[in-house]
Chains A and B, each alone.
Chain A
Amino acid sequence: MFAYTMRRLMVAIPTMLVIIAVAFFMMRLAPGSPFDTERALSPEIRAQLMTFYGFDKPLYIQFLDYLKGLATFDLGPSLIYKDQTVSEIIGSGFPVSMTIGLAALLLATCVGVPMGLFAALKQNSLPDYSIMAIAMAGICIPSLVVGPILSLVFGVYLGWLPTAGLDLGKMTFETLLLPVVTLSLAQIAIISRLVRSSAVEVLRSNFVRTARAKGLPELQVLSKHALRAALLPLVSYLGPACAGLITGSVVVETVFQLPGIGKNFVTSALQRDYPVVMAVVVLYAGLIILLNLLADLAYGLLDPKVKYE
């Protein structure tokens, strides 16, 4: 187990390097510059700025400098918001994205798992079909449709909840409710489909038949034997999904005008704010790798058939 974890972490390092390199060179080799303002800067000032930020050095040296900074957690200042460091920008945006993402994941699991299990128990009946129809709807109705419609109905027509906007540092239940619900709908759908199909398979399997044959009460068969096996695929799904939820919140953050990290990313990419863009990419890539590893490890703990050596 320990050796496996170490090996995975060793593989993660080159992966991260590739990701950082691709993002870095893609950003830098592209046309445009953070100093393209409406008023053209005089050549002298421009040259000074370039020297100040080290843009006059050869690109590979800049890349090595960046890696050095990254290793010491010094991400430097933002190129656009001169009074803020990159760490400050990420530090203010990430909690918002993370709160929404985790809340959505929690909601999706709490709703999706019972839905899937129930559908599996009532396989090929009306409740099963209706749950699967709802799940299909959740997959087909994208967040960029759900978000505006929810805020139109609950914010504008009914006036129950604020439609948009979140003052920095003030995350209240009301402001977060609609974004979280919007983000969780697709996940509810995917989770309930996943749980249903694995539960259907498990309920047909031999060990469940054995448990029933030896006369265990149905409730015990389900809770002690079937449930654990049925939820296994969910574990390996939740890792990537967790990272994906934070990624997916780009749309939700745009719709509800939340100051999250996804929105930061799009604006800073448009303004060529290289350090911020890089920081977001590195953060997400790291999260994806880490969460995948955690999911795999959890899988190994839960499934006695899987052995990592």
Chain B
Amino acid sequence: MTLLTTPQEKAELLEAAIKGRSLWEDARRRLFRNKAAVGSMIVLGTLTFLAIFGPFFWPHDYETIYNDRVLQGPTWENLHIFGTDPQGRDLFVRLLYGLRMSLAVGLVATGVSLLIGVIWGATAGYIGGRVDQIMMRIVDVLYALPFIFFVIILMVVFGRNLILIFVAIGAVEWLTMARIVRGQTISLRKKEFVEAAEAAGVTSANIVTRHIVPNVLGPVVVYVTLTIPAVILTESFLSFLGLGVQEPMTSLGNLISIGAREMEIAPWLLIFPATTMMVTLFCFNFIGDGLRDAIDPRDR
């Protein structure tokens, strides 16, 4: 334990004495004091902005083929700052599209897993008893499935369509979410404030929305930020095996797989997408770690 000595902390203490702070406000303060997390948010924000709006302002299009500029290295000439790919398309704009696709897959698939996981877990945890047992047994069985193989089978047999990628990956990732939410819900049900609310005659629906959900939110938010990079990885893994998004559309994994094929003669095709992917994953993980420390500061 350190004594509160810095002027900043003293000021905060004073302020706290004047005005009460909510748990969330506390967490937000701790998060914004975490330099890695704040830096990651800035970088990720910039990358997202570029991925969404960059292509509108860039002179090249992601599917325009320049037959005379195949496999050009990075050059200012014609503004191919990241070079061109084996078909003679501009890598920079393709990278932006790829990043956009990877982020979209990450967000949508995580959303799917969040939706299924929270509903499943909260229901099992709140109802309890036999329903809980059966629901969680299903989760246990699903855990034993070699899921990546099922996703591969799905991709192969039903063709590579985008919605299927979203749903398939989301359906893989919801299990852990359901377990987290269930565990939290069960421990919350026995808390005094929930009992107090019950005693005061608050309806079940209100208890769930006003008391349970806000308190479950913390761990869920943390898990979400750590699921997004996992989903991006899964998608890139599929694209790498040639089972992800279809040409001429692209994703980071798809670009990396092309880069890996051409790396001996055109290393830039590997280096730029690989770096973009690593930076993106770094950012999500730092934000996730920062959030965990902020919301649950016990084991720092």
Q: Is A148 positioned at the interface, with any CB of B under 8 Å from its CB?
A: yes
CB pair A247 B263 closer than 8 Å:
no
B256's partner among A30, A137, A145, A250 (CB-CB below 8 A) is A145
Cα A144 to Cα B257 with chains together (Å): 8
Give the residues in chain B near A14, CB-CB below 8 Å: 141
Q: Is B299 positioned at the interface, with any CB of A under 8 Å from its CB?
A: yes
CB pair B264 A19 closer than 8 Å:
no
CB pair A251 B144 closer than 8 Å:
no
CB pair A23 B299 closer than 8 Å:
no
Number of A-B contacts (CB under 8 A): 109
CB pair A23 B153 closer than 8 Å:
yes
Please give the number of chain A residues whose Cβ is less than 8 angstroms from any Cβ of chain B in the complex. Answer: 45
CB pair B144 A142 closer than 8 Å:
no
A19's partner among B144, B152, B270, B285 (CB-CB below 8 A) is B144
CB pair B233 A142 closer than 8 Å:
yes
Q: Is A26 positioned at the interface, with any CB of B under 8 Å from its CB?
A: yes
B150's partner among A15, A22, A145, A270 (CB-CB below 8 A) is A22
CB pair B152 A288 closer than 8 Å:
no
Q: Is A31 positioned at the interface, with any CB of B under 8 Å from its CB?
A: yes
Give the residues in chain A near B146, CB-CB below 8 Å: 19, 243, 247, 281, 284-285, 288
CB pair A285 B236 closer than 8 Å:
no
1/0 per position for B260-300, CB-CB distance to A under 8 A?
A: 10011001001000100110011001100100000000010
For residues 228 through 246 of chain B, which have their beta carbon under 8 Å from a beta carbon of chain A? 229, 233, 236-237, 240-241, 243
Given the known interface contacts A144-B240, A251-B240, the answer about A23 and B281 at a Cβ–Cβ threshold of 8 Å is no
Give the residues in chain B near A216, CB-CB below 8 Å: none
A139's partner among B153, B274, B285 (CB-CB below 8 A) is B285
CB pair A247 B148 closer than 8 Å:
yes
1/0 per position for A195-227, CB-CB distance to B under 8 A?
A: 001001100000000000000000000000000
Cα A270 to Cα B157 with chains together (Å): 8
CB pair A148 B229 closer than 8 Å:
no
CB pair A144 B141 closer than 8 Å:
no
Smallest CB separation, A222 vs chain B (Å): 20
CB pair A277 B145 closer than 8 Å:
no
Given the known interface contacts A15-B144, A26-B150, the answer about A144 and B237 at a Cβ–Cβ threshold of 8 Å is yes
CB pair A140 B278 closer than 8 Å:
yes
For residues 95 through 125 of chain A, which have their beta carbon under 8 Å from a beta carbon of chain B? none
23 sampled A-B residue pairs with Cβ under 8 A: A15-B141, A19-B144, A26-B153, A27-B157, A30-B156, A137-B282, A140-B281, A140-B282, A141-B278, A144-B237, A144-B260, A147-B260, A148-B260, A148-B270, A149-B270, A152-B270, A247-B148, A247-B149, A251-B237, A265-B149, A266-B241, A284-B146, A285-B146
B positions within 8 Å CB-CB of A = 141, 144-146, 148-150, 152-154, 156-158, 229, 233, 236-237, 240-241, 243, 253, 256-257, 259-260, 263-264, 267, 270, 274, 277-278, 281-282, 285-286, 289, 299
Q: A27-B157, A140-B281, A201-B299 are in contact. List 18 more A-B contacts (CB 8 A).
A: A15-B144, A19-B144, A19-B146, A22-B150, A30-B153, A31-B158, A141-B278, A144-B257, A144-B260, A145-B278, A147-B260, A148-B274, A197-B299, A251-B240, A251-B241, A266-B243, A269-B152, A269-B156
